[in-house]
Amino acid sequence: MILKLRVRGPLLFYKTKTTKASRALQFSSSGRPDWNHDEEFVDILEDRRHSSDLGHALRTFNPQPYQGGQPCSAAELTKTVLESQHLCYVIALETGSSIEEVTEEARRTLDEMSQNLQLGFIRLMSFTLTKVFKKLFSSIFVNMDTLSTLQQSIQQTPVILMPNHRSYVDFLVISYIMFSYDLPIPVIAAGIPLAGMKMVGEILRRSGAFFIRRAIGSDKLYWAVLSEYVKTIVRKGHAPLEFYVEGLRSRTLKSITPKLGMMHMVLEPYLKGQVFDITLVPVSISYDRVLEESLLSHELLGVPKPKESTTGLLKASSVLQDSYGAMHVNFGHPLSVRELLKGKINRCQYNFVPRSKDLPQKPSAEVQACVSWLAHVVVGTQEQGSVISPWSLMTCLLLQAPITVLTVEGFPWHQLTEKTLWLKRLVLNYGVRLNWSGQTSDSDVMSSSLTLHRSVVQRKADRVYLVREKNEPRRRPVSEEASVTATAKSVLMLAAYRNQSMHVFVRPALLAVALNITRSTQKNELFAFFCFLQSLFSYEFIFIPGMQFEDFEDACLLLKKCGAIRINSDEVIVSDSGQEILSFHQSLIQPFIDSYQVTFSSLSEQEPDVFTDKQFLPAVRNLATRLLLSGEIHTYEALSSDTQKNSLSALQRLEAVRKLRASENSEYKVDKAAVKHLADRLCKSHQ
């Protein structure tokens, strides 16, 4: 493989040369994607800056829809759902109300939920978004190779667009791109709070959004209505369906463990033989800077998320005065469900029910495992399709400095530039997509990144300092706890951008930690500890189920490729020059280890050994604050509520904490001996 550079506009993309036959994404026998980076990205805002915004919005729109589908209005879709066997079955089972009352409730649910896509509103959105995007972003780069492949897929099968979710801009930009290139506008699963925004909610509904309640619980009728609505869209194929497999917007800017509810609904028409195939299209959206960066760090520290409202949107219009750099949208190679599930699942279990009786069926353990595997493949594909920014590399290094260096002494600029260039060479050796300008010097690239993120760091006298959020003027001095929180807000903003590239490093980083803790060179011992770390951090990072051995082999090959280790049949040996690379990787994982240790300590002190959700987060946050003030830990990421929740989920997975089923208040029982055992296995990582 030969490294080459391809210049497109003002941007230099580092590519890997491939043959024409390998341009498509292929899957190996193990199910791991083999990636291709020889792609063409085009700035779609370039033309918009030199042409009429109104002309673009009013131009002829001539999409080529799914050939097996028929046009379907919102009213026809609602009628089909209400008459479905599935919904009639659930209505017949409902007790306590007449069939007429339950049917009317189902109709009201559909009225609340359903989209009402209209071309006129798409044109309005296009005109508005062109204005907004030109103000916010310097460029929006789109992978044109895969966009043309998407057009072919849309005509052949029902298509499911599955973007990652980092910003409210995500679904807007995808519809904007689809309109700009004459692709059918998708119908989009959105949260119900957006529907309550005056005027905006109705505009979104008429632009293709359908709205889902966040808390459905055991409401069987709502589940049935939603499930049938989604499956009808897939069966008819009149428009692509778009939803976020992660379920929520990521507040840490790294991938979230996929939620499987919508995934089951989307796949069921294929599993029941109602469609020949379904095409999944992972979409990777990468931001130089996220609009909500400050809001996200506040939420991680326990500040309630502001309610979505039109008033709040208008107040947030000040963001238009700032710059957010470039955005990259990479439509992944279409994935055939039929091909991916070949040999993995037996669809015969669905054949016992006549197709005319589309009755609800509980998925088998085999189906659930397959759906989970496929969802993880999609999220992994999203990660591999992302574009890494210089700022993400810089934050990896800044966060490895002591907090006093960032807040008091300042990180020397020359040292940061040297280390970033070293890291740039490393990630290129790993084969990632790297967004690095080819028409300016390396120093200018990094200076521009620093300027773009001046809300969190600033450069003074050739040193880089962390910018802490200014407190409102007070008569009394700021408390130590408030000072910790102010620092944590800025640290968590840095950590979010580091997280954008964590998927690149996480596997070799886990191996580096295993080498450090076990002090072993034996492959079998290292592999066992590597698997333990994967299991422990399975809610922090995306690991495809059943791929532990392949992940371990990948980690070995990457560290060998960069000269950090030597490998023979039974051993992994650290090379003389490999310590710098291994130390860098270990330091990337250390904040997560330290944060989990805080959770372990908090639960070990828990009296009694039963606690609730409402008690858990404040207890861990208070302990982390005390430890930071005393200097016993230096990891401000221990204050992140997402990390705390992930550590609790990991403890449940490892059976050190058990959720009490009979509890009404989400109570948990801790096995302190098991928690202590986990803490002891990790404690050597400080050595």
The pLDDT tens digits for 96-138 are 677 888 888 889 999 999 999 999 999 999 999 999 999 999 9
CA 484 to chain CA centroid, Å, is 28
| Tokens standing for residue 297 | 């760090």
Q: Which residue has the higher pLDDT, 567 or 18?
A: 567
Domain regions of the chain by residue span:
71-385, 388-468, 478-686
The gap from C-alpha 113 to its chain's centroid, in whole angstroms, comes to 25
Q: Greatest CA span in the chain, whole angstroms?
A: 78
Return the DSSP state at 388.
B
Decide: 594 and 620 in contact? Cβ < 8 Å: no
Provide the pLDDT for residue 684.
64
* Token output for 596: 């989990």
Residue 355 has pLDDT above 80, yes or no: no
Q: Does pLDDT of 548 surpass 70?
A: yes
Omega before residue 65 within 30° of 0, cis? no
Split at pLDDT 50, 70, 90, the class of 217 is: confident
Which uninterrupted H or E stretch holds 336?
A: strand 335-336
Single out the residue of 58, 107, 118, 49 nearest to residue 82, CA to CA.
107
Give the bridge partners for 286, in sequence order.
328
Neighbours of 557 (CB within 10 A): 13
**Cβ-contact 329, 174 below 8 angstroms:** yes
- Bridge-partner residues for 143, per DSSP? 41
Q: What is the pLDDT of residue 314?
A: 60
> What tokens appear for 4 in the block?
């080459």
Q: How confident is the model at residue 555 (pLDDT cuts 50, 70, 90)?
A: very high
Query: In whole angstroms, what is the distance from residue 510 CA to residue 33 CA?
Result: 21
Q: How confident is the model at residue 269 (pLDDT cuts 50, 70, 90)?
A: very high
Residues in a beta bridge with 241:
160, 187
Three-state SS annotation for 506-550: HHHHHHHHHHHHHCCCEHHHHHHHHHHHHHHCCCCCCCCCCCHHH
Q: What is the dihedral of CA 581, 585, 587, 593, to 10 degrees?
A: -150
Q: Is the pLDDT of residue 662 over 70?
A: no
Q: Calculate mean pLDDT across residues 629-634.
A: 94
Question: Which is it for strands 187-191 and 241-242: parallel, antiparallel or unpaired?
Answer: parallel
- The span from the CA of 562 to the CA of 558, in Å, is 6
If DSSP codes are grouped into helix, strand and coil, which group holds residue 579? Answer: helix
SS3 label, residue 5: strand
Q: Are the beta carbons of 233 and 239 closer than 8 angstroms?
A: yes
Tens digits of residue pLDDT in 462-512: 999 999 876 555 556 778 889 999 999 999 999 999 999 999 999 999 999
Would you say 428 and 14 are in contact if contact means Cβ atoms under 8 Å apart? yes
pLDDT over 70 for what percent of the chain?
89
Q: Average pLDDT for residues 310-331, to the nearest whole number?
A: 81
Q: Answer yes or no: are the C-beta atoms of 283 and 330 closer than 8 Å.
A: yes
- Residue pair 112/195 in contact (Cβ under 8 Å)? The answer is yes
pLDDT band at 347 (very low <50, low <70, confident <90, very high): confident
- Does pLDDT of 575 surpass 90? yes
Q: What is d(CA 510, CA 454) in angstroms, rounded to the nearest whole number?
A: 32
Quote the pLDDT of residue 95: 55
Amino acid 214: pLDDT: 82
DSSP alpha helices (H): ranges in 387-441? Answer: 390-398, 403-404, 413-430
Least confident interval from 55-69, 268-282, 545-559, 669-683: 55-69
Residue environment code for 389-401, b if the CB has 16+ CB neighbours within 10 A, otherwise e: bbbbbbbbbbbbb
DSSP 3-state helix, strand, coil percentages of the chain (rounded to 5)? Answer: 55, 15, 35
**Distance between CA atoms of 526 and 537, rounded to whole angstroms?**
16
- Residue 635's closest CA among 294, 473, 403? 403
Closest CA to 621 of 596, 597, 640: 640
> Mean pLDDT across the stretch 302-310?
77
**Rounded Cα–Cα distance for residues 297 and 294 (Å):** 5
Q: What is the pLDDT of residue 70?
A: 74
Assigned CATH topology for domain 71-385: Glycerol-3-phosphate (1)-acyltransferase (3.40.1130)
Closest to 113 measured CA to CA, from 248, 22, 222, 26:
222
532-543 residue pLDDT tens: 999 999 999 999
pLDDT at residue number 440: 87
| pLDDT value at residue 101 | 84
Distances (CA, A) of 39 to 5, 32, 377: 11, 20, 21
| pLDDT-derived band at 94, boundaries 50, 70, 90 | low
Q: Spell out a b/e string for 602-633, using b for 16 or more CB atoms within 10 Å of the CB, else e.
A: bbeebeeeebeeeebeebbbebbbebbeeeeb
Q: What percent of the chain has pLDDT over 90?
A: 69
Helices 523-536 and 641-653 cross at an angle (nearest 10°) of: 120
Question: Residues for the chain: how many in total?
Answer: 687
Average pLDDT, the chain: 88
Residue 68 burial by Cβ neighbours in a 10 Å radius (0-12, 13-18, 19+): middle
What is the rounded average pLDDT of the residues 58-84? 86
Closest to 391 (Cα-Cα) out of 574, 253, 269? 253
* Mean pLDDT in residue range 164-186: 95
- Residue 512: predicted pLDDT: 97
Residue 349 in this model has a pLDDT that exceeds 90: no
